[in-house]
Amino acid sequence: MPKARGVKVLGLVALASFAVMACSAATAQAAKWLVLGAAITVNHTFTLSAPGGLTLLMPAYNLELKCSNGTGSGTMLSAGAKDVGHFTFTPTGCKVFTNEPLAGLTTCGVQILPMTDTVLAIGADLVLFENSKGEFSPLHFTGEECPYASLYFFGGTIRALVENNNTAAPVLNTSIGQVDDALTVGVFPVVLDAKIVALLTTAGEVDKAFGVS
């Protein structure tokens, strides 16, 4: 693939969760945040991590981005009929691998920059990440010998199944995604394979069960 700079994707209502994420959440079907099984009436905070690692599958580029972990935090906001929320998430320890003809670590480094203004719909044990500005965080491939374009943008949407819902450690499982989902890098579909663990940090409510309705 020829070297290029400044590749930018616009115009899709989108998600990336594979980068530092700052999200606003709007519910679908009057879905609600729950703490101890009850709808929240005040704001609650939480942390995020991916202790099992995460992978971004990029078939069109013949690449996989493998990260050893990720860190983040967020706030669940009570907003009457429609709960909303915000969060950030940053994958850490990321490396770039190629699949064929020879699988292995590439000469490319990778840098994922902050993204902002995303929308998160919640409900029925599923969350849907979208972006109201039409683009997500930049993905930089780095290195003088790296054969890939230096800059791409995440776009599209992604679904996550809420596992261990209404427990002390609910999990956002994005592994249910498929290549034909709307998550993209550049103009090509990709799959985010991750299980992101959430933990309450609100004063006096650490270790309490929470989730979505």
Read off the pLDDT of residues 3-45 as tens digits, 9 standing for 90 and up.
433 333 222 222 334 444 444 444 344 467 889 989 888 889 9
The pLDDT value given to residue 124: 65
Whether 7 is covered by a domain: the verdict is: no
Whether 16 is covered by a domain: the verdict is: no
Structural domain containing residue 118 = 23-208
Sign (positive or negative) of CA dihedral 2, 113, 53, 132: negative
The pLDDT value given to residue 170: 93
pLDDT at 176 over 90: no
- State whether residue 107 is helix, strand or coil: coil
Task: Domain count for the chain, please give it.
Answer: 1
Per-residue confidence band for 66, with pLDDT thresholds at 50, 70 and 90: very high
Whether 191 is covered by a domain: the verdict is: yes
pLDDT at 53 over 90: yes
Whether 88 is covered by a domain: the verdict is: yes
Whether 184 is covered by a domain: the verdict is: yes
Whether 192 is covered by a domain: the verdict is: yes
The pLDDT value given to residue 86: 73
Nearest one of 11, 53, 61 to 189, comparing CA atoms = 61
pLDDT at 165 over 50: yes
Per-residue confidence band for 191, with pLDDT thresholds at 50, 70 and 90: confident
57-61, 131-135, 161-165, 200-204: which has the minimum mean pLDDT? 131-135
Q: What angle do CA 133, 90, 197 make, to 5 degrees?
A: 105
Whether 132 is covered by a domain: the verdict is: yes
188: Cβ–Cβ under 8 A, 6 or more apart, which residues? Answer: 58, 59, 60, 61
Kindly report the pTM of this predicted structure: 0.76
The pLDDT value given to residue 19: 42
Per-residue confidence band for 121, with pLDDT thresholds at 50, 70 and 90: low
In this predicted model, what pLDDT tens digit does every residue of 122-144 receive, in sequence order? 666 777 776 656 666 778 888 88
The pLDDT value given to residue 10: 26
Strands 38-39, 23-25: parallel, antiparallel or unpaired by DSSP? unpaired
What is the Cα–Cα distance from 14 to 153, expressed in whole angstroms?
A: 10
Whether 10 is covered by a domain: the verdict is: no
Q: What is the mean pLDDT of residues 63-75?
A: 88
What is the Cα–Cα distance from 84 to 179, expressed in whole angstroms?
A: 28
What is the Cα–Cα distance from 62 to 103, expressed in whole angstroms?
A: 10
Helix (H) or strand (E) holding 115: none
Sign (positive or negative) of CA dihedral 35, 40, 44, 50: positive
